[in-house]
A and B are shown apart, each in its own frame.
Chain A
Amino acid sequence: MSPSKFLGIPANFSSHGGQVDHMIDVVHWFMIALFVGWTVFFFYCIIRFWHKNNPKASYDGVRSHLSSHLEIGVIIVEAVLLLGFAFPLWAARVDNWKEVQNLNPNRVRVVGWQFGWTYHYPGSDNKFGRTNPDLISGTNDLGIDYTDPNALDDFTSPILKLPVDQAAVLNIGTKDVIHNYCIVPMRIQQDAIPGRQIPMWFTPIKTLETHVVCAQLCGEGHANMVGSMEVVPKDQYDTWFKSQTESALKTNSPKPPAVAMINP
C-alpha cells in the first residue's frame, strides 16, 4: 500500500492527479526511510549508551563519515525530486498554455464571493462577455455587460459542470476577498486573488459528483462555502450546454418588439 493511500488520500479523477499522488508517495517513502533510520539509531543509542550500560563516555563518539554520506544521499534524492518531478510537472501546469490551447479546452470563469461560487460559461461563441463590477445587481451577480455582443449567449450556473475526457481551463477570480478553488479529487487548486483572473487547467478522466472546497479563509462563512461540481458524459454535457446557451440568448438579446415600437 502506498503511503498516500495509507493516510487516506481519496481516489484521483484527473489526468495529472496520478503524477501528484506519485510524487507524494515517492517523497513519503523517502521520509519514511529517513525516519525509520533515525528512529532505529535513536533507540539503539538510548539503550546501548544508557549510563548503566556504558559508564564511560567516548570523547570522540562516531568517527566514521557515514553522516556525510547520508547528507550527500539526501541532497541527491532531493535533486532528483526537483529535477525529475517538481520542475517539469509544475511547468506542465502553468507554462504550456499553447499546448493546452490545442486540446480545445472548455473554458469557465469561476467567481468566488462570500460565501459561494458562481460559474460563468462563455456560451456557444466560446467568448466571454465583458464584466464590470459597477453592473453587479440582484439579477446580474457577476456584472456581465450585455451591451457586449459576446455576452449575449453567456450564462451562469451555480454548479460547475464539465464533460469527461476533455481538458478544462478554469479562470479563477473573486468579487470580494481571497478565496481558493480546490477540487480535491482532481488534485488541483488555485487562489482567487481580487483584481486578477488566474487560469488553472486539468482533464477529468472519470465522471463524478463532488464538493469543491474553499481553501482560503474568507470570513465567518468560510467553512460553509461548499462548491458543487459534476463531471458528466460528453453528450449529456452538450445537451445541457446547448439548452443553457439558448435560454441565455433568449433572455439577453435586445428585444425586437422594442425596435418595432420606435419605427411603426
Chain B
Amino acid sequence: MSSHSTSITEHNDHDDSHHDDHHHELGFIQKWIFSTDHKIIGLQYGITALSFLAFGFYLMMVMRWSIAYPHQPLPEWMSWVFTDGWKARWLQDGKVTGETYNMFGAMHGTIMVFLGIVPLGFGAFGNYVTPLQIGAPDMAFPRLNMASYWIYLLGGLVMCSSFFFEAGAAKSGWTNYSPLAGFADGQVVNQWLAGQTQWLVGLVLLITSSLLGSVNFITTIINLRVRGMTWMRMPFFVWSMLVTGFLLLLAFPPLEAAGIMQLMDRVAHSSFFMPSGLFTKSEGLADLSGGGSPLLFQHLFWFLGHPEVYVLLLPAFACVSEIIPANTRKPLWGYKSMVYSVLVLGFLSFVVWAHHMYMTGMGAAVSTFFQTTTVLISVPSVVIITSMLISLWGGSIRFTPPMIWACAFIPMFGIGGLTGLPLAFNLADLHLHDTYYVIGHFHYVVAPGILFGFFAGILHWYPKITGRFMSKTLNHLHFWPTLICMNLIFFPMLVQGMAGFHRRWYNGGDAYLSKAADSVNVFGNTVAQHIDLNILMSSGAWLMAFFQIFFIINLFTSWKFGKKVTSDNPWDATTLEWATPTPPGHGNFTKEPITYRGPYEYSRPDCDADFLPQWTEPKRSHTLDTAVVSQEAASSKA
C-alpha cells in the first residue's frame, strides 16, 4: 500500500492506451442489447424509463380530461390509441368511467414512481455516472447489473400488459390498500389473468431488480474507488447514490414481502390483510378466513413508501449538485455538511413512514413520535437546498442549458418541500390530508423538482455520452413553456386542496357541486367556487405534453446532428467522468486515473485556469495541494 504514493507519478507517465487490448470487439447484440457495460445499461435504463414516463403522462392526460370535462366524451386526439373493443369496455358513451379512471390513476402512480423516476435516477444516471466518477472500469458485478435491467423491464411489461386483460390493469391506487385491492378483480376466475394480481407480480419483479442494483452500487462505491478517491473526495453525486443504494436495500424488501403476502391473499385465499366480517354489496358476506389487518399493509407499504421519496429525490439532488459547481465556476458550498445531511436524511427517512397514516386513528404517543421525526427530516433537506442556493453566491454563472434547469430546480423544489411542512402536522392534516394540497405538494417535488433535475442531468452528460451537445434553441423551446405549464398545473392544486377538494375523484368534484344558485350547502358552494380550476390545470397538462416534443426531437436528433464537442471535458469540469475519452469505451479510462483532490476545485486562487480537475497531477505551485498529497501519502487507499 505504501508504494502507491510513489507510483502515482510513474503511472501517469504511461500515456499509451494499452487498456484497449483487454477487450475484443463485441457483436451488436452483446454490445447494445445484452450488454454488461454499465454505460450501455445506463442508457437502456434511461430510454426505457423515459418511454414509461411518456406513457404515464399519457394516462394522466386522459385522467385530466375526465376531471375537467366529466360529461363530455374523450376526444379523438386522446382516444385514437384505444381499439374499438377497448372503447366499448372502458368508456361509457365515450366518457371515462370511475373504474377506468381508477385504473389509469393506479397505473399512472405506479409507472411514474417505479418504472419512470426510480429507473431514470438510480438506474440511468446512477449506472452511467457513478463508476466514471469514482474512476472504476465498470460496476462491481456487471452481470448482476444486466440482470437488474432485464428484471426491471420484465416487471414493467408484466404490469403494463395487464391493460389488455378482460378485467384491465390494477385499479386500487398506487398504494394498493387492502381490502379494496383484495376485492378488486375478485370476479376473475383465473387470478393470474387479473391486473390486480399482475400488479403484485410486477412489483415483486421490480423490487428484485432494485435490490440487485442496490447491492451492486454499494459494493462498487465502497470497493472500486480509484486511488486517492477518499470518502470526502467523492463527488456529492456518488454520496447520494450510496445513500440511495442503502435506501433501496433496506426499505424495499418489506414491500416485497407485503406484495407476496397480498398475492397469497389473492391466489391462495390467505387473509394476511383481510379482517373478518366484511360485507360487500356484490358478494354479500365475504368468504374469507379473516383475522388479517388492513393497517399492517399500510405500515409495510409506507415503510417502503417514504424512503422511496428519497430514492426519487436524491438522484435529482445528485445531478443538480454536479451542475451548479461546474456552471458557477466555484466549489459546491458546504460540501461536508451536505454529505452529513444526506446521511442523516437517509437514516431519518426510515422513521417517518406513519405520517402517511395520520388519519388511521393514531393516538397521541405514536403521532408525537412521527410528527417529531417528520419535522426533523426537514432540517437536512433545508441544509442541502440552502447549500445549493448559497453555492450561487460569488460564482461566475454560465447559463448553459443544464444550468437553467438546475436553477429552476431550486425554487420549484423549494415549493414542493415547503408545502410538505403543514402536512407534517397531524392537526393541519385534519383539513389537508388526502386533498389536492397533498397532490400539489408531491408533484411539485417530483415533476418540476426531480424531473427538472433529470433534464439538467441529461443535458449535462449528453456531450460525454454522444460527443455532441443538445440544441440550445430546442432546449429553450422546451424549458420555458414547461416551467410555466408546471406551475399552471400544480399551483391551482394547492388552492383546490386548501378548499377541500380531495384526490381520486374521476369527475373532479362534480358530484359535490351545488348546482342551484341559492344552495346553502357549504361544501357544495366551495366546490362550485373552485371547480373551474380543473379546466385550467388540465389545459396546462395538455399544453405541456406538446412542448415535450421539443425535448424528444432534441434528444434524438442531437445524437447525429448536434454541435460536436471539441474536448473530452466540454464543460471544463473537475470530476473524473470528464477524464474519459468521448464517448467512454468499454472499461472507461484509457489509463487509470488518480485522484489528487476534492471534487469541486474551481477558481482556486493559486491556479490560472478556473478549474483544477481531480485527476490533474499537482504542480509545486499548487500550495493547497501539497498538503493534500502528503495527507494522501499517509492515508492512501487502493
Contacts and interface: CB of A to CB of B under 8 A. Distances in A.
B361 A191 contact: yes
Closest 6 CB pairs of A and B: A195-B275, A58-B394, A184-B500, A7-B498, A220-B98, A198-B361
A9 B499 CA distance: 4
B364 A217 contact: no
B361 A219 contact: no
B378 A78 contact: yes
Interface stretch (A42-50, A153-161, A243-251): A42-50
Contacts of B102: 217, 219-220, 222
12 contacts: A7-B498, A10-B500, A20-B428, A49-B394, A67-B334, A86-B371, A90-B364, A133-B278, A178-B179, A190-B359, A220-B99, A223-B507
A136 B505 contact: no
Contacts of A24: 422, 428, 431-432, 498
Given A57-B396, A78-B375, A187 B431 contact: yes
Interface stretch (B45-53, B524-532, B542-550): B524-532
Interface string B368-398: 1001100100110011011101111111111
A195 B427 contact: no
Contacts of B392: 42, 45-46, 49
Contacts of A82: 371-372, 375, 425
Given A35-B415, A59-B331, A217-B504, A20 B285 contact: no
A236 interface: no
Q: Tell me the dominant secondary structure on chain A's binding face.
A: mixed
B347 to A, nearest CB: 17
- Which of B98, B293, B359, B521 has the most A CB atoms < 10 Å from its CB? B359
Interface string A86-111: 11011101110000000000000000
Contacts of A93: 427, 430
Nearest to B361: A198
A132 to B, nearest CB: 8
Contacts of A208: 520, 522
Contacts of A178: 177, 179-180, 294
A222 B180 CA distance: 11
A57 B421 contact: no
A24 B371 CA distance: 15
Interface string B488-516: 00000011101110101111011110000
A235 interface: no
A188 B427 contact: no
Interface stretch (A68-76, A119-127, A162-170, A254-262): A68-76
A7 B436 CA distance: 12
Interface residues of A, number: 95
Contact of B499 (A7, A31, A218, A224): A7
B421 A27 contact: yes
Interface size class of B (residues with CB under 8 A): 35 or more
A210 B527 CA distance: 11
Contacts of B422: 23-24, 27-28, 31
A110 to B, nearest CB: 13
A63 B31 CA distance: 49
A144 interface: no
Interface string B329-362: 1110110000000000000000000000001111
A237 B301 CA distance: 43
Given A57-B328, A60-B394, 6 more contacts: A7-B495, A30-B421, A38-B386, A94-B367, A143-B279, A189-B359
Contacts of B295: 193
Contacts of A56: 396, 603, 610
B403 to A, nearest CB: 10
A10 B527 CA distance: 10
A39 interface: yes
Contacts of B498: 4, 7-9, 24
A42 B521 contact: no
B616 interface: no
A59 B277 CA distance: 68
B281 interface: yes
Contact of B394 (A57, A198, A224): A57
- Which of B364, B431, B432 has the most A CB atoms < 10 Å from its CB? B431
B464 interface: no
A51 B396 contact: yes
Contacts of B395: 45, 49, 54, 57-58, 61
Interface string B298-340: 0000000000000000000000000000001111011000000
Contacts of A217: 102, 172-173, 177, 180, 504
A58 B603 contact: yes
A253 interface: no
B230 interface: no
B363 A95 contact: yes
A152 interface: no
Contacts of A210: 521-524
A159 B387 CA distance: 54
Contacts of B7: none
B396 A220 contact: no
Nearest to B290: A195
Interface string B386-429: 11011111111111000000010011001100110110011110
Contact of A61 (B294, B330, B426): B330
Nearest to B179: A177
Contacts of B285: 133-134, 136
A227 B498 CA distance: 20
Given A9-B499, A19-B427, A223-B506, A194 B278 contact: yes
B191 interface: no
A222 B368 contact: no
B280 interface: yes
Interface string A191-204: 10111101000000
A39 B386 contact: no
B522 A224 contact: no
Nearest to B382: A74
Given A42-B411, A218-B180, A194 B275 contact: yes
A134 B496 CA distance: 42
A175 to B, nearest CB: 5
A224 B512 CA distance: 8
A45 B393 contact: yes
Contacts of A59: 330-331, 602-605
A89 B426 CA distance: 9
A71 to B, nearest CB: 6
Contacts of A31: 418-419, 421-422
A28 B368 CA distance: 21
A175 B604 CA distance: 69
